Structure 1
């Protein structure tokens, strides 16, 4: 009845919100949300004490890990920016869009596991693991930014000028947005570089995982604080005039790699990733194998990944509504800086790190993964919404306090919140898959298990399934945005 009293433009928002809420609630009985009895408080006190007393036994090793983290990020972003910009100019072709969707749909950790089978724990593995998916992301976002530019300057230059026509019209207009987005994506690359340490590359994540699992929380905290300092200090040292120097330095700072044997590459591509029955031409046995994998693994794992993403998406929305007022100057005044710090902590901390802590609290269930996903993504979205709330023009007689939040700001900001949530749904799907590395039976759990068992044929099938799921979710989210008549979020702030 409430919907009928609202303007037509408001109905899709409520209908869509209720639909997602219903799907999330309906998914709860099928999710393993068991809280296992434990006494984590002593361990949590040790973690808290470690955060307050960071310590590292070998400062040269810490400096080396920081440099490797930066080197992987700079090298990968430099490659992906150039290739992404090239693909963005061809993005109108369906084949290019499909290619970019496919490579960005696979998480960089999965790419790392794939390249590791060919190149080992080398610098090339780390750089390609980040550069390949980021190329797809840059191509999509750059194409969207270029499409948003005014066509008027292009009418002042002859089209025969070719590259100059494009460079001095579309590219020149889009440059501020492009650079803003590249800077943000570099921050993401630092997180990705850190996470690659979890598969053995010598970045901050490698030493953090080792220290955390061994209960050496002061050492783990030192690494975590170093990462936060790295992110927080970007504004002071990441200047565009210095970027070429950083990129050149990154090439020399990357860890040494063993020579790559091309035979391993072709062995992996032509033999390892295909089931033996298919290689030997036993088509019926190959079909039986694929049918077995689809029914026993792919369908349950895909359904569970989608189920967890829906719960995490709705929980993210609830967290956003609770958290954004804490960082809005218009709502809480000067105390907004404390909220900004809290949101910086949530959005800068990798989901795997948050999930590790929740595992201690709640035990090995899906609950730690859901909470980690919700907090990380709500930290980003709440920060963006809080920043936008300060630009809302209020009436002279606007209410104060809770009424200002409930009846003035939130209703006006809600379309933007929904657009950002739908835009991040694909990211939540990707991250929920890799959280399977913690034991949650999502697609990531089976991918990791397949690599550990040297079942590359099964691993490839699972990775392709994860990519298809991401592409499907992105398509559904785009259609929902169109149904609600939501504008696409600005890529520079939402990716």
Structure 2
């Protein structure tokens, strides 16, 4: 139900977003955006699946990077989850998951080059931090009753394996399956930094105006995600895990001298490399903060707040599409398809497409973030609405929506929204690589100019900003007693 604190907080965030809209650049600068949008949709309905011999290989590598990266991340995350109660472990996990997969890829590209290890680690490292957090939450919520049924003298390891794991197994398996879907999205967008996954072919097709080729790539990706229940079966997982490393490709050999130079020279601040001392370092940091970090932080926070509220509005408007309390099976099926497409399309891919159609501004980023995250939350709230029982004389139509369902779903809706806040911030920062002036723009510019020391400082700032937003979101959820479900 609505409460004064939740209403007041909601109005505050809406007000901040409205002020942000007045300050943000949300213009459409393309000369003929509707023609370009029409050409894009025409390409989607007339896909060219035979445009490139490498498309099937890219599909296999997308799957392989996802499987290997998620497998390593889940294994490492599970081990860290066992130690998650220790402060240093929590801080370490928060730091590595606060850095987006594309930032990790940009870092590893500088010394591993276009080697499969770059893509695998770019997924595995942040996913380790994510798995550790969620696995720890699931294990902590396990029912203690089975422990009491064990015979006296049962060892700690045996008690854990036979009492806690069986109780949590369904949740652990469900969340890991969800993360595999996320891993496929992460693997696809690695192509935008040059790795041979589907994103590489999507960017190439768009840059050449080959919309039918781009449509084929998108359709292949949607089919891949939608068919997960069909091709990801428990009995086949060992086969996939054994086979995946063989489909990663070979790439270029790793030059270990480059690795050593990166850590001993490239990321060392220039004033220290040149012997300018503390004074030179402070001047260098001041210039970096004033001209790059502060503008990047401002635009990242501004865009995040607008996208957060837009996500919430879209989720509230879209959940009736799949709720059993509205419409019949045909409408709900259509709604499911729309939300699957929205939540399956990576924000980065959608923002890239809209930037090509509308021109450079914050508008494509806002729409991309809202569609993806709104689709996720709308799907979760729609499923939760199906568990609600209404009175036989409950009103219908808009009155049922406004007076029966939204008040009862609003608190879990806010919990999901604030759980996604930090994720939206991570995505907002990385969208700067596409030319939007968030922190990712300045990180990418520094790397392009071979100023890795500045890039590493900016990535550190991005991580700290994400950690701060995550902590603020958790504080709000605790203060308002909002239930947080790790499945989102």
TM over 0.5: yes
Q: Deviations over 1:66-91 (max 9, x none)?
A: 11001000000111111000000000
- Establish whether residue 378 from structure 1 lines up as the match of residue 371 from structure 2: no
Is the 8 Å Cα contact of residues 149 and 170 (structure 1) preserved in structure 2?
A: yes
Paired with 2:257 and 2:142, the residues of 1 have a C-alpha distance of 47
Counterpart in the other structure of 1:283: 278
Q: 1:72 to 1:37 in 2, by over 3 A?
A: closer
Is the 8 Å Cα contact of residues 198 and 205 (structure 1) preserved in structure 2?
A: yes
Q: Deviations over 1:41-73 (max 9, x none)?
A: 222221111111101335642211111001000
Counterpart in the other structure of 1:398: 394
CA RMSD, 1 decimal: 1.4
Shift of residue 475, structure 1, vs aligned partner: 0.3
Counterpart in the other structure of 1:419: 415
* Structure 1: gaps spanning 5 or more residues: 1-6
**What TM-score, normalized to structure 1?**
0.95
- Establish whether residue 150 from structure 1 lines up as the match of residue 143 from structure 2: yes
**Which secondary structure state, in structure 1, belongs to the residue aligned with residue 133 of structure 2?**
helix
Counterpart in the other structure of 2:264: 270
Paired with 1:152 and 1:406, the residues of 2 have a C-alpha distance of 41
Is the 8 Å Cα contact of residues 12 and 483 (structure 1) preserved in structure 2?
A: no
Paired with 1:293 and 1:60, the residues of 2 have a C-alpha distance of 45
Counterpart among 401, 421, 430 of residue 434 in structure 1:
430
Counterpart in the other structure of 2:313: 318
Paired with 2:251 and 2:48, the residues of 1 have a C-alpha distance of 30
**What TM-score, normalized to structure 2?**
0.97
Paired with 2:218 and 2:483, the residues of 1 have a C-alpha distance of 36
Shift of residue 477, structure 1, vs aligned partner: 0.5
- Establish whether residue 108 from structure 1 lines up as the match of residue 104 from structure 2: no
Is the 8 Å Cα contact of residues 104 and 133 (structure 1) preserved in structure 2?
A: yes
Counterpart in the other structure of 1:3: none
**Which secondary structure state, in structure 2, belongs to the residue aligned with residue 486 of structure 1?**
coil
**Which secondary structure state, in structure 1, belongs to the residue aligned with residue 192 of structure 2?**
helix
Paired with 2:101 and 2:153, the residues of 1 have a C-alpha distance of 39
Counterpart in the other structure of 2:24: 31
- Establish whether residue 180 from structure 1 lines up as the match of residue 180 from structure 2: no
Paired with 1:423 and 1:86, the residues of 2 have a C-alpha distance of 23
Shift of residue 488, structure 1, vs aligned partner: 1.4
- Establish whether residue 388 from structure 1 lines up as the match of residue 402 from structure 2: no
Counterpart in the other structure of 1:210: 204
Shift of residue 427, structure 1, vs aligned partner: 0.7
Q: 1:285 to 1:11 in 2, by over 3 A?
A: same
Counterpart in the other structure of 1:245: 239
Moved more, 55-64 or 385-394: 55-64
Paired with 2:397 and 2:253, the residues of 1 have a C-alpha distance of 64
Paired with 1:260 and 1:172, the residues of 2 have a C-alpha distance of 42
Count the aligned residue pairs: 485
Counterpart in the other structure of 2:55: 62
- Establish whether residue 353 from structure 1 lines up as the match of residue 349 from structure 2: yes
Q: 1:35 to 1:220 in 2, by over 3 A?
A: closer
Shift of residue 355, structure 1, vs aligned partner: 1.6
Is the 8 Å Cα contact of residues 159 and 165 (structure 1) preserved in structure 2?
A: no
Paired with 2:460 and 2:382, the residues of 1 have a C-alpha distance of 37
Is the 8 Å Cα contact of residues 65 and 120 (structure 2) preserved in structure 1?
A: yes
Moved more, 344-353 or 142-151: 344-353
Q: Deviations over 1:158-202 (max 9, x none)?
A: 565131111111112111000000000000000000000000111
Counterpart in the other structure of 2:459: 463
Counterpart in the other structure of 1:453: 449
Q: 1:153 to 1:36 in 2, by over 3 A?
A: same
Counterpart in the other structure of 1:18: 11
Q: Deviations over 1:292-322 (max 9, x none)?
A: 1112211121121011100100011111111
- Establish whether residue 117 from structure 1 lines up as the match of residue 110 from structure 2: yes
Counterpart in the other structure of 2:81: 88
